Amino acid sequence: MRIAVNTIMFTLLTLYSCNDRENKQNITRLVNEWNGKEIVFSEHPVFTRFTKDDTEYRYC
């Protein structure tokens, strides 16, 4: 009995995870929303280290 329940649960989870139509639509919408945009970074970035003070980025 327990094997049958586990098999049914495994089958349902597998079939549910294969349904990615909505996920593809969300990715397509997100790509279309960001298409043509540009990410601009600061000329002088400052980073914060965990439990430390701010640190300037030095490019060598």
DSSP string for 33-58:
HHTT------SS-EEE-TTS-EEE--
User: Which tokens hold the place of 42?
Assistant: 């600061």
- The position carrying tokens 């960001």 is 34
What are the tokens at 11? 């089958």
Share the mean pLDDT of the chain.
78
Summarised one tens digit per residue, pLDDT across range 7-34 is 888 888 877 766 667 777 888 898 999 8
pLDDT, residue 43, reads 82
Supply the pTM of this predicted model: 0.37
